[in-house]
Amino acid sequence: MTENSPFAEQKAGADPFSVVRIEHDGPAGVGLTEWEKLDPATLASGEPVQRGHFYGLNEESGYSMGVWDCTAFDDAPGPYPVDEYMVLLEGSVIMAQPDGTETVINAGDAFVLPRGLDCQWKMPGYVRKIFMIVEGDGRAASSNPSHARVTVPSFAPLSSPSEGAVSSHEQVFLSADGRMGVQRIDFHHAVEGPVPMAGECLVTVLEGSVEIEGHQFAKGDSFQLLANAKPDWKIAAGTRLILAAYTA
């Protein structure tokens, strides 16, 4: 982790946090710091100023997760370099593709851009987002349709579950290398107890409420769960989540 990560404050040998709230302005007392300028060679227009905070960072494996904001710019067209899942907090983004398709993402939406997608990022104004980025391991994209499109998942309730089912699941995206997945989960009944986490997760509450280790999360809140954590959850009936997971 980088020094500006909340985990840098932990003492050697201390129990790791299982859950961390993702603050839209960055952690209290830290906030968002200005990052280096974008390479002009990668831009079609604009002189953007970007800021951010990493809640998770592993440069060796190409994984990062955090909050980012930036002023207006348009990227140069070309293949997207990473797999990236985003929750847009403010502003709007237009993703243009060579066939003329334009996908508009607005504040409150989540979306996924797969590595290698031929597209152009257009940002007409200020944007703030939560992101999870995983650099690919070089594996080619498969015939999976989500590897050739901008995926903007619906937040409508999932279809009615089978009788007695505790929850319904929808796989929204799985990267070609299998290291990043995004899924929707609707809970039809209350759930309470430990839930093991195989990977590091970024969770946003779409509806309902969640309590983990005394931390309360409601609609619109996002939080990070560490890999291999086994936190106790209290999930209210009717809660709906969208979850991105990174597995090293």
User: What does the block give as tokens for 74?
Assistant: 């348009």
DSSP state of 189: S
Q: Is the dihedral of CA 78, 79, 81, 87 positive or negative?
A: positive
Tokens (6 digits) for 226:
């560490």
- Of 11-15, 55-59, 141-145, 199-203, the poorest mean pLDDT is in 11-15
Q: What percent of the chain has pLDDT over 70?
A: 91
* 229: confidence class by pLDDT, cuts 50, 70, 90: confident
Reported as a single tens digit per residue, the pLDDT across 80-138 is: 999 999 999 999 999 999 999 999 999 999 999 999 999 999 999 999 999 999 997 77
Q: State the distance between the two ends of the chain, measured CA to CA, in whole angstroms.
A: 14
Distance CA 242, CA 167 (A): 13
Residue 231: pLDDT band (50, 70, 90) is confident
Residue with tokens 């280790």: 213
Distance CA 186, CA 161 (A): 9
- Tell me phi and psi for residue 43, to 5 degrees: -110, 145
pLDDT of 5 > 70? The answer is no
Which pLDDT band, with edges at 50, 70 and 90, does 141 fall under? low
Q: What is the pLDDT of residue 198?
A: 75
Residues 166, 167, 168, CA angle at the centre, nearest 5°? 145
Q: Using the 8-state DSSP alphabet, how is residue 59 labeled?
A: T
Buried residues in 203-228 as b, exposed as e (16+ CB within 10 A): bbbbbbebbbeeeebeeebbbbbbee
Give the whole-angstrom CA distance, residue 243 versus residue 128. 19
The string of pLDDT tens digits covering residues 103-117 is: 999 999 999 999 999
| Distance from C-alpha of 146 to C-alpha of 173, rounded to nearest angstrom | 6
Q: Domains, the chain, ranges and CATH? A: 6-148 (2.60.120.10), 167-246 (2.60.120.10)
Q: What are the backbone angles phi and psi of residue 16, rounded to the nearest 5°?
A: -70, 150
Percent of the chain as helix, strand, coil, to the nearest 5: 5, 50, 50
Distance CA 17, CA 224 (A): 10
